């Protein structure tokens, strides 16, 4: 019997150690997930350094930005949106999916130009990519162009390059597949092939504008994921109109002239994007914490009951001792 009781106590100790280790492990994973969320939110916002060097500031120039990172090709802004970021270009299209303008890891990535495009947007057709982030970060607002009213009220923007400034005149928004060669395969695209690009976008378009668009126009496509885990893409197609003098267009109406605040334009809290892994880890952490709290409460109650039983046992033993003493006397 003593051996069995000892074995049970040993087994309980092992189980407690395992449960404690699981709790610590889950807390570490949960903390990592929350830290990842912080990094996603922080990196998707303009840093103070960029806010002081962006268009409209005294120190803005693409060459100045290239002193930070020579991969910076320019800056993109769309009127009255949060799309107000530097444009990067890597040796392939994988680098800036998960790196910021300083080449540091960032789950939010950067806005980047297709690596096969000319860095100064001298091609007839260029493609810019950006993540669809929560809180209207990066290229997430491209999905708003599906709404007709938003499409009609947000029709222009600017792309600043080292040599000139282009005005973007937004022509259409379309939903396409990520394998659509007429949108994404630069080897498919040749000079004077704008007709295929425009007609393809029109065939998949959700909204189009009434601007005059010609097959000879210089074009840019802004691309983002429709949602996580799908091959669907939202593409906003615009024409590029070159401006000879930067001073003519350096001032632009924008709601992003300050460092990103905690609240967005509607005064509501910015949402934080969570990956599927982070969501699972957060849920696991919550469940383990609940189990741990319940187990702790039960242990405290059990300890209280044990103390009461011990007290009753001592009282009973004392009474028995007293009776024995009374009999002896």
CATH number at residue 214: 2.40.260.10
Asked if 19 and 51 sit in the same domain, the reply is no
Residue 328, in any domain of the structure: no
135 in the same domain as 210: yes
Q: Is the pLDDT of residue 77 over 50?
A: yes
- Which residue has 């997930």 as its token pair? 33
Whether 291 is in a domain gets the answer: yes
Same domain, 13 and 85: no
pLDDT for the residue 278: 55
Residues 63 and 202 in one domain: yes
Q: Is residue 317 part of a domain?
A: no
pLDDT higher than 80, residue 43: no
Contacts of 19 (CB under 8 A, 6+ apart): 292, 295
Rounded mean pLDDT of 314-324?
68
Indicate whether 255 and 130 sit together in one domain. Answer: yes
Q: Which of 19, 108, 35 is nearest to 292 (CA)?
A: 19
- pLDDT confidence of 38, banded at 50, 70, 90? very low
Banded model confidence at residue 257, pLDDT cuts 50, 70, 90: very low
The predicted structure's pLDDT at residue 37: 46
User: 152 and 86: one domain?
Assistant: yes
Domain count, the chain: 2
Residue 319 lies in a domain: no
Enter the tokens of residue 261. Answer: 């605040």
Residue 8 sits in which domain range? 2-40+278-310
Q: Is residue 266 part of a domain?
A: no
Q: Are residues 174 and 217 in the same domain?
A: yes
Q: Same domain, yes or no, for 18 and 105?
A: no
Domain assignment present for residue 213? The answer is yes
- Given this model, what pLDDT does residue 190 score? 58
Q: Which residues contact 7 (CB under 8 A, 6 or more apart)?
A: none
- Which of 138, 134, 141 minimizes the C-alpha distance to 97? 138
Give the residue carrying structure tokens 């350096």: 250
Together in a domain, 53 and 36: no
Predicted pLDDT of residue 113: 97
Question: Which range scores top for mean pLDDT: 31-35, 91-95, 273-277, 280-284?
Answer: 91-95
pLDDT at 41 over 70: no
pLDDT at 289: 75
State the average pLDDT over residues 66-80. Answer: 94
The answer to whether residues 170 and 154 touch, using CB atoms and an 8 Å cutoff, is: yes
Query: 216-234, pLDDT tens digit by residue?
Result: 899 999 999 987 677 899 9
In whole numbers, what is the pLDDT of the chain averaged over residues? 77
Higher pLDDT, 248 or 109: 109
Whether residue 9 sits in one domain with residue 75: no
pLDDT at 319: 67
pTM comes to 0.64
**Averaging pLDDT over each range in 16-20, 60-64, 264-268, 293-297, which range is the top one?**
60-64
**Same domain, yes or no, for 88 and 175?**
yes
293 shares a domain with 230: no
């Amino acid at each position: 019997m003593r051996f069995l009781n000892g074995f049970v106590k040993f087994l309980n100790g092992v189980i407690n150690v395992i449960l404690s280790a699981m709790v610590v492990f889950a807390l570490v994973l949960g903390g990592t997930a929350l830290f990842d969320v912080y990094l996603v939110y922080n990196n998707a916002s303009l840093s103070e350094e960029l806010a002081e060097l962006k268009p409209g500031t005294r120190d803005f120039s693409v060459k100045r930005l290239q002193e930070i990172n020579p991969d910076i090709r320019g800056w993109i802004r769309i009127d009255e949106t949060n799309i107000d970021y530097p444009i990067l270009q890597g040796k392939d299209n994988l680098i800036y999916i998960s790196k910021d303008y300083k080449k540091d890891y960032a789950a939010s990535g950067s806005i980047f130009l297709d690596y096969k495009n000319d860095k100064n947007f001298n091609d007839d057709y260029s493609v810019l990519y950006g993540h669809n982030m929560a809180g209207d970060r990066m290229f997430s607002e491209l999905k708003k162009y599906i709404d007709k009213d938003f499409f009609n009220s947000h029709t222009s923007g600017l792309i600043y390059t080292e040599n000139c400034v282009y005005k973007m005149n937004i022509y259409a928004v379309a939903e396409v597949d990520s394998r659509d060669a007429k949108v994404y395969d630069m080897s498919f695209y040749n000079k004077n092939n704008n007709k295929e690009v425009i007609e393809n976008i029109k065939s998949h378009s959700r909204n189009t504008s009434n601007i005059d668009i010609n097959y000879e126009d210089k074009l840019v496509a802004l691309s983002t994921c429709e949602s996580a885990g799908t091959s669907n893409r939202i593409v906003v197609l615009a024409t590029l109109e070159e401006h000879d003098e930067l001073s003519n267009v350096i001032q632009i109406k924008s709601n992003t002239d300050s460092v990103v605040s905690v609240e967005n334009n509607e005064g509501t809290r910015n949402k934080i994007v969570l990956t599927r892994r982070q969501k699972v880890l957060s849920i696991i952490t919550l469940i383990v914490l609940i189990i741990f709290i319940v187990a702790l409460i039960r242990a405290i109650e059990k300890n209280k009951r044990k103390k009461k039983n011990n007290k009753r046992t001592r009282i009973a033993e004392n009474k028995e001792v007293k009776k024995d003493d009374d009999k002896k006397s």
